[in-house]
């Protein structure tokens, strides 16, 4: 059921073809926003999602772009704007998780993790700001992780990338608040996505007794998009594992 509270708004969701990204895309479309679904490799899944939304009466397009590359981001925003209108909602969800220990973590692993998880947030934010400033309204939500503050199982490079995302969130929030643009983060831990498949042993660490769902993460994102007074914050979701 479409509530249409975001009709007239245009969103980009990076890494939007599956998992948490796809749940956020559906939630935005459900509220009437036109959505650009960014993907890097999964064209089939992104196209299928766009078709699903269009068939239900919504507006969505799939856009390929490596969001760790400035030129690709500029082209993506240009194409999304031409097809859907000026972007005023950005969800920075694209990320990679290369599991490494301290002894097998390489410079290449570190660089690619920082580029995809952190630099992409900077590039996409810079690219959409002119349109948001012109409208004096914008919502940016960055997908962080409990690893920004906790130890995590993926590795120090991943911790650093997500802690950086939260630093960018606060830095932009402080500077954009007077222009009607809010910038927040959601930090989920142990969500039932492809990343968690084959790791049922991890459920034992969650006091709630189950993994979180992509839809629950999407709910938190939508709450931040709907709240004009909340900015510079990180909403943590961990089933009771940790508290801010």
Active site amino acids = 158
Please give the backbone phi and psi of residue 234, each rounded to the nearest 5 degrees, phi first: -115, 120
- Quote the tokens at residue 86: 């000026």
Q: Order the strands of the 181-188 sheet from edge to edge.
A: 60-64, 34-39, 10-13, 89-92, 138-143, 181-188, 234-237
Helix 107-114 × helix 156-176 angle, to 10°: 30
Please give the backbone phi and psi of residue 160, each rounded to the nearest 5 degrees, phi first: -65, -40
SS3 breakdown of the chain: % helix, strand, coil, rounded to 5?
Answer: 50, 15, 35
Running DSSP on this structure, what letter comes out for residue 89?
Answer: E
């Amino acid at each position: 059921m479409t509530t249409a509270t975001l009709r007239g708004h245009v969103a980009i969701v990076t890494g939007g073809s599956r998992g948490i990204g796809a749940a956020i895309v559906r939630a935005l479309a459900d509220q009437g926003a036109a959505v650009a679904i960014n993907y890097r490799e999964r064209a089939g899944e992104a196209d299928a999602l766009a078709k699903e939304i269009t068939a239900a009466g919504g507006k969505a397009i799939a856009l390929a772009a490596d969001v760790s590359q400035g030129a690709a981001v500029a082209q993506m925003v240009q194409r999304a704007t031409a097809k859907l209108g000026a972007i005023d909602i950005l969800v920075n969800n694209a990320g990679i998780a290369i599991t490494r220990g301290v002894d097998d973590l390489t410079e290449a692993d570190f660089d690619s993790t920082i580029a995809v998880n952190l630099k992409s947030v900077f590039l996409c934010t810079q690219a959409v700001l002119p349109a948001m400033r012109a409208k004096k309204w914008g919502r940016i939500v960055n997908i962080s992780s409990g690893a920004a503050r906790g130890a995590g199982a993926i590795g120090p490079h991943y911790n650093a990338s997500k802690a950086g995302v939260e630093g960018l969130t606060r830095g932009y929030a402080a500077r954009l608040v007077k222009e009607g643009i809010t910038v927040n983060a959601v930090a989920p831990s142990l969500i039932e996505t492809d990343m968690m498949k084959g790791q049922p042993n991890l459920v034992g660490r969650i006091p709630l007794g189950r993994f979180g769902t992509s839809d629950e993460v999407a709910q938190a994102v939508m709450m931040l998009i709907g709240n004009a007074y909340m900015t510079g914050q990180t909403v943590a979701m961990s089933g009771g594992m940790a508290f801010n």
